[in-house]
């Protein structure tokens, strides 16, 4: 695989480009890049969750192959570059990509980095936010040159909430981590509870006291501590975990004081994609992916793959490889994307979020897919997930 | 495709209309992709008469033109099983390439074209000598298969590439591609070969194609009160032999549409079982059977009475259906 670890390749690239330096490369190919910004993150609790080296890039490769197969019938060519950089080099890396004619850039970056990139790129690039779930990016901090193929926290929380309300498990014991993104996820669950008629009967914060994730002592302390932590909660139907930082969630099932199911960051999880999602032709995507990559498709891979397929669809339908033509086709909102989740995905014109179903998965199986049939909407049931048009804070 | 109308069959249907049970058998074969079996229904009584265990994940079904053999596309076994319809025994397998999903039998009766969903191929199989004649590279996730009545053109649809590929049956090469809407599932020619219908599951449309150019001359759209547009997902398509009636299975909207073959207007929606996949006419074209994937049944549409007259419980997750006139 072609992974380019970012170095300041040329003095010119590192000097930074003026905003007017629009590349004059003829559109003989659809050039896209996956820009993975390596934010330092602690290791996951389970070694089975360790991120593979090609996380996200693999989705780009399979998506590019998919596009190329269609492209051969239309004389369209798709070229994708893969760049991995530390946060401080992200801006330079993007400038170099744009200078080389890579104007469609899929970012795997946190929200502040994404915003810096978007503001620097202006109309010279179209960014696809694969991994930043922040609701703010779809609201007050939305940008005209950013599309969100990945899920927002709101979509995840709403998807789970619909299922739990369908189950009549409406009394929630919410446990949130102590990092800002955990709080943000917990806020999304609070909003979802209000939106769909559930109640948070108890809320606790699990403080991250640091330290290594995996030790030789294993589960011994966990077994003693977590039951006590969850003791004497008000009567609840389900425990909801908001632990994006992955500090404690993976340990929580079977260690709660009361015998209650666990959902959210562990147990029943709202995800964009799952290796067991075989309905709606999903098996074919898994087969292609594992044949080409040699492992299962992760959530990040799916989000990047979806971004690639959006490009493929734009090129096919517009009959063009030109950046401006394709960008206008994508942002015009008339395109439909097939993502193996049972219905057409489209672009929300108010915040550029891709509307899509959310998979609810536990362990090795798909439990359900939201939106649930019981929740109606005057326009699209998919708009019951995340920020709907009337609530949008986006003024791009 | 069964288009012959024998006098016997007509007689039988008259008998059915007056409420008596027809003496002439029309036999319905339904593949159940989950329970790995074929349900056999006697159309005269509309009752299940047998269930035959077959390979894993049977989906597409095709009949030999004389009705003697049933070709069963056992997707997860990567093979086409051949059942003798007389003895109901699997007599041999055909080499099909991986994951065969839907097939179409050439008018000669000699070559079965199957879509290998997992492998971006259409495989042409000599059904008599049981060998592969050609593997034709197509788009991603090939599925729908149609053949022109003169046998010159096989059309394959690819679900992720969103195209109908026109394959020359002499050279086994693609000579034209038509872009249709998202996730095309099925291709069906009219019996005079003048039109080709291609359904698009996610796009929610059926493209009407003039295959002589080829180009899309019309797109059929569907609207069902109270059903969200996302749930209207066209899959199976069957056209009456005079071209006047086009039946379209609409997936999770649980409806089959009847479209006027001249104006392309939708004239009627029939409420059938859940997630309707495929359709087939009885040989006399007086009835249409639909396989309903989630409700584990088939629905019978009486074309003359213009209504659904019966649901018949079959195996788990019924998928394909064909009907023989004996």
Q: For the domain that residue B296 is a member of, what is the CATH number?
A: 2.130.10.10
**How near does any CA of chain B get to the CA of A129, in Å?**
23
Q: Quote the domain boundaries for residue B134.
A: 7-324
Is B55 in CB contact (< 8 Å) with chain A?
no
In A, what residues contact B, Cβ < 8 A? 66, 69-70, 73-74, 281, 283-284, 287-288, 316-317, 336-338, 342-344, 380-382
pLDDT at B168: 97
Report whether pLDDT(B16) > 50.
Answer: no
The two structure tokens encoding residue A107: 């970012």
For residues A64-80, give the mean pLDDT.
93
pLDDT class for A211, splitting at 50, 70, 90? confident
Question: What is the reported pLDDT for A393?
Answer: 95
How far, rounded to the nearest angstrom, does the alpha carbon of residue A60 sit from its chain's CA centroid? 14
Q: What is the mean pLDDT of residues B40-63?
A: 96
pLDDT class of A333 with cuts at 50, 70, 90: confident
Give the per-residue pLDDT at A20.
Answer: 40
B17-24 contacts at long range (C-beta below 8 A, 24 or more positions apart): B17/B286, B17/B304, B21/B45, B24/B325, B24/B326
* Torsional sign, CA A264, A270, A271, A274: positive
CB spacing of B161 vs A73 below 8 angstroms: yes
Contact B163 A382 (CB under 8 A): no
Domain A4-151+274-356, second-level architecture: 3-Layer(aba) Sandwich (3.40)
Interstrand relation of B121-126 and B131-137 (parallel, antiparallel or unpaired): antiparallel
Q: Cα distance from A390 to chain B (closest Cα, Å)?
A: 20
Q: Contact B140/A69, CB-based, under 8 Å?
A: yes
Determine, for residues A336 and B182 on separate chains, whether the beta-carbon distance falls below 8 Å: yes
User: In whole angstroms, how far apart are CA A157 and each of A189, A335, B50, B167?
Assistant: 5, 26, 48, 48
What is the pLDDT at residue A212? Answer: 65
- CA–CA dist B206, B228 (Å, integer): 17
Tell me the pLDDT band of A215, cut-offs 50, 70 and 90: low
Residue B62 lies in a domain: yes
Q: Please, which pLDDT band fits residue B92 given cuts at 50, 70 and 90?
A: very high
* B57 and chain A in contact, CB less than 8 A: no
Give the one of B160, B163, B231 whose C-beta lies nearest to A338's C-beta.
B160
Asked if B227 has any chain A CB less than 8 Å from its own CB, the reply is no
**Is 60 exceeded by the pLDDT of residue B32?**
yes
Residue range A278-287, pLDDT digits in tens: 999 899 999 9
Say yes or no to pLDDT of A25 above 70.
no
Distance to chain A for B211, nearest Cα, Å: 18
Q: Is residue B1 part of a domain?
A: no
- Residue B39 clears pLDDT 60, i.e. is over it: yes
Write down the domain spans for chain A.
4-151+274-356, 154-271
pLDDT for A9 equals 36
How do residues A8-19 score in pLDDT, each as one tens digit? 333 333 333 333
Judged by DSSP in three states, A279 sits in helix
Considering the domain delimited by A154-271, tell me its CATH architecture.
3-Layer(aba) Sandwich (3.40)
Position A54 confidence tier, pLDDT thresholds 50, 70, 90: very high
Q: Does B171 contact A at CB distance below 8 Å? A: no
Do the domains A154-271 and A4-151+274-356 match in fold?
yes
Mean pLDDT of B141-151: 96
Lowest mean pLDDT among A166-170, A226-230, B4-8: B4-8
pLDDT at B18 over 60: no
Taking CB atoms and an 8 Å limit, are A287 and B159 in contact across chains?
A: no
Distance from CA of B268 to the nearest CA of A (A): 24
Higher pLDDT, A311 or B160: A311
Give chain B's domain count. Answer: 1
Calpha distance A272→A340 (Å, rounded): 11
Task: Select from A63, A69, A317, A377 the residue whose CB has the most chain B CBs within 10 Å, as the one to mutate to test that interface.
Answer: A69
pLDDT computed for residue A213 by the predictor = 66
Q: With pLDDT > 70 as the criterion, what percentage of chain A qualifies?
A: 91
Which residues have C-beta within 8 Å of that of residue A220, sequence separation ≥ 6? none
Query: What tokens appear for A252 in the block?
Result: 């929580």
Work out how many CB contacts closer than 8 A connect A with B.
64
Q: Are A247 and A194 in contact (CB under 8 A)?
A: no
Residue A32 has pLDDT above 90, yes or no: yes
Q: Using an 8 Å CB-CB cutoff, list chain B residues near A381.
A: 228, 230
Q: For residue B2, what pLDDT band results from cuts at 50, 70 and 90?
A: very low
Q: β-strand A171-177 against A199-206: which pairing, if any? A: parallel
- Show Cβ contacts of residue B274 under 8 Å, excluding neighbours closer than 6 positions: B252, B254, B292, B293, B294, B295
Nearest chain B CA: its distance from A74 CA (Å): 9
Q: Do A343 and B202 touch (CB under 8 A)?
A: yes
Best mutation target among B120, B143, B167, B230 (most A Cβ atoms within 10 Å) is: B230
Provide the CB-side half-sphere exposure for B277 (13 A, CA): 26
Q: What are phi and psi of A354, to 5 degrees?
A: -80, 120
Please provide the average confidence, as pLDDT, over all residues in chain A.
91
Rounded to two decimals, the ipTM of the complex is 0.73
Q: Search chain B and give the residue with CA nearest A72.
A: B139
Rounded to an integer, the average pLDDT of B269-277 is 97
Among all residues of chain B, which has the CA nearest to that of A319? B179
Best mutation target among A76, A78, A281, A288 (most B Cβ atoms within 10 Å) is: A281
Using the beta-carbon criterion (under 8 Å), do B182 and A281 form an inter-chain contact? no
Q: For residue B41, is it within any domain?
A: yes
How many Å apart are CA A372 and CA B291, to the nearest integer? 24
pLDDT of residue B51: 97
* pLDDT at residue A196, as a whole number: 97
CB contact under 8 A, B162 and A336: no
Please report the pLDDT score of residue B25 as a whole number.
82
Query: Looking at the predicted structure, is the pLDDT value of residue A181 above 60?
Result: yes
CB contact under 8 Å between A336 and B231, yes or no, is: no
Q: Searching chain A, which residue's CA lies closest to the CA of residue B294?
A: A279
User: Of the candidates A69, A287, A336, which has its C-beta nearest B202's C-beta?
Assistant: A336
Q: What's the pLDDT score for residue A23?
A: 45
* pLDDT tens-digit readout, B163-215: 999 999 999 999 999 999 999 999 999 999 999 999 999 999 999 999 999 99
């Amino acid at each position: 695989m072609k992974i380019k670890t970012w170095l300041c390749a040329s003095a010119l690239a590192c000097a930074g480009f003026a905003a007017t330096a629009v590349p004059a490369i003829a559109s003989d190919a659809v050039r896209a890049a996956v820009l993975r910004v390596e934010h330092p993150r602690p290791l996951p609790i389970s070694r089975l969750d360790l991120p593979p080296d090609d996380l996200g890039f693999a989705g780009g490769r399979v998506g590019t192959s998919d596009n190329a197969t269609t492209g051969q019938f239309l004389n369209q060519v798709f070229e994708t570059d893969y760049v991995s950089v530390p946060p401080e080099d992200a801006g330079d890396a993007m400038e170099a990509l744009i200078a080389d004619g890579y104007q469609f850039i899929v970012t795997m970056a946190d929200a502040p980095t994404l915003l810096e990139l978007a503001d620097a790129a202006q109309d010279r690039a179209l960014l696809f936010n694969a991994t930043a779930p922040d609701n703010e990016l779809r609201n007050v901090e939305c940008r005209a040159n950013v599309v969100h193929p990945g899920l927002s926290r709101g979509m995840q929380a709403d998807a789970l909430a619909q299922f739990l309300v369908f189950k009549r498990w409406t009394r929630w014991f919410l446990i949130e981590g102590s990092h800002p993104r955990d709080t943000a996820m917990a806020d999304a669950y609070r909003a979802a509870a209000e939106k769909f008629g559930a109640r948070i009967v108890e809320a606790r914060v699990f403080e991250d006291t640091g330290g290594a994730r995996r030790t030789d002592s294993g589960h011994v302390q966990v077994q003693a501590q977590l039951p006590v932590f969850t003791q004497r909660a008000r009567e609840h139907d389900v425990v909801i975990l908001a632990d994006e930082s992955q500090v404690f969630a993976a340990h929580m099932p079977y260690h709660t004081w009361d015998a209650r199911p666990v959902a959210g960051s562990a147990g029943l999880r709202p995800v964009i994609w799952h290796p067991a999602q075989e309905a709606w032709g999903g098996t074919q995507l898994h087969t292609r992916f594992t044949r080409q990559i040699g492992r299962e498709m992760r959530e990040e891979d799916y989000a990047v793959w979806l971004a690639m397929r959006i490009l493929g669809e734009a090129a096919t339908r517009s009959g063009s490889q030109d950046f401006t033509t394709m960008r206008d086709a994508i942002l015009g909102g008339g395109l439909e994307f097939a993502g193996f989740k049972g219905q057409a995905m489209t672009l929300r014109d108010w915040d550029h979020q891709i509307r899509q179903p959310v998979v609810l998965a536990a362990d090795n199986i798909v439990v359900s897919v939201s939106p649930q049939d019981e929740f109606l909407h005057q326009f699209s049931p998919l708009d019951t997930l995340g920020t709907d048009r009337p609530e949008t804070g986006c003024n791009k | 495709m069964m288009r012959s109308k024998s006098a016997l069959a007509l007689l039988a249907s008259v008998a059915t209309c007056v409420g008596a049970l027809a003496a002439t058998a029309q036999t319905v074969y339904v593949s159940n992709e989950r329970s790995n079996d074929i349900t056999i229904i006697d159309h005269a009584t509309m009752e299940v008469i047998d269930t035959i265990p077959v390979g894993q994940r049977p989906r597409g079904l095709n009949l030999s033109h004389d009705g003697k053999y049933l070709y069963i596309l056992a997707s997860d076994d990567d093979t086409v099983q051949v059942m003798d319809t007389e003895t109901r025994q699997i007599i041999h397998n055909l080499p099909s390439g991986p994951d065969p999903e839907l097939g179409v039998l050439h008018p000669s009766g000699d070559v079965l074209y199957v879509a290998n969903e997992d492998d971006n191929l259409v495989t042409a199989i000599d059904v008599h000598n049981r060998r592969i004649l050609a593997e034709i590279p197509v788009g991603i996730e090939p599925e729908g298969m149609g053949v022109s009545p003169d046998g010159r053109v096989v059309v394959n649809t690819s679900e992720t590439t969103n195209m109908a590929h026109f394959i020359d049956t002499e050279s086994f090469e693609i000579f034209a591609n038509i872009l249709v809407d998202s996730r095309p599932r099925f291709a069906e020619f009219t019996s005079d070969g003048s039109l080709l219908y291609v359904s698009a599951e996610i796009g929610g449309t059926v493209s009407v194609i003039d295959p002589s150019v080829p180009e899309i001359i019309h797109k059929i759209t569907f609207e069902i009160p109270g059903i969200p547009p996302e749930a209207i997902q066209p899959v199976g398509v069957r056209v009456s032999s005079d071209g006047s009636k086009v039946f379209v299975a609409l997936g999770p909207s649980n409806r089959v549409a009847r479209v006027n073959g001249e104006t392309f207007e939708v004239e009627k929606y029939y409420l059938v079982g859940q997630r309707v996949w495929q359709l087939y006419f009885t040989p006399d074209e007086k009835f249409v059977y639909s396989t309903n994937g989630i409700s584990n049944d088939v629905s019978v549409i009486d074309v003359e009475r213009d209504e659904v007259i019966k649901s018949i419980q079959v195996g788990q997750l019924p998928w394909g259906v064909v009907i023989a006139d004996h």
